[in-house]
Amino acid sequence: MYLALMGLNMNTYMNVLNWTDEQIPHRLWIEKQEDDTTRLCMKIVKDSEPEMLYLNLEASQTCILNAWQGSAFPVTDAFDDGCVYSQVRSLLNLPQGCVLWSLTHVLLPDGKKISTDKLGFIPGMRQHNGHLISV
């Protein structure tokens, strides 16, 4: 019912999480698993081949849809020396913990960029005003 009030239509098997910033090319969605858990999927759009990230969460799709705020919130300062950019961001605060997204971009000598991204679940923590705090 809460989802209907928010104007969200929940699909039984897969639901897209839309970014509030339309300039973000990455795609984020959740998939219902057979054991009633949910898999968070993130397609990282890059200069070369896209990277797919997956994270199984012990939370319902409804819980995740309610937690999604449309953006990622920094929990570390960005490091940027012109060759390496790195930051950790929070994607979701769930009742059991926080979903983090870490990203690193490296500028190669030939001018091309490579990046590595990772999703992780941190139990017992949540993002609040740019900091991780205990739940």
Domain count, the chain: 1
Predicted pLDDT at 9: 54
Cα angle 76, 100, 133 (rounded to 5 degrees) comes to 65
Q: What is the mean pLDDT of each run of 10 residues along the chain (135 residues)?
A: 43 86 90 91 84 94 95 96 96 97 93 91 96 94
pTM score, whole prediction: 0.85
With b meaning 16 or more CB within 10 Å and e meaning fewer, what string describes 92-130? bbbebbbbbbebebeeeeeeeeeeebebebbeebbbeee
Q: How far apart are CA 103 and CA 106, in angstroms?
A: 10
Domain residues for 7?
Answer: 2-134
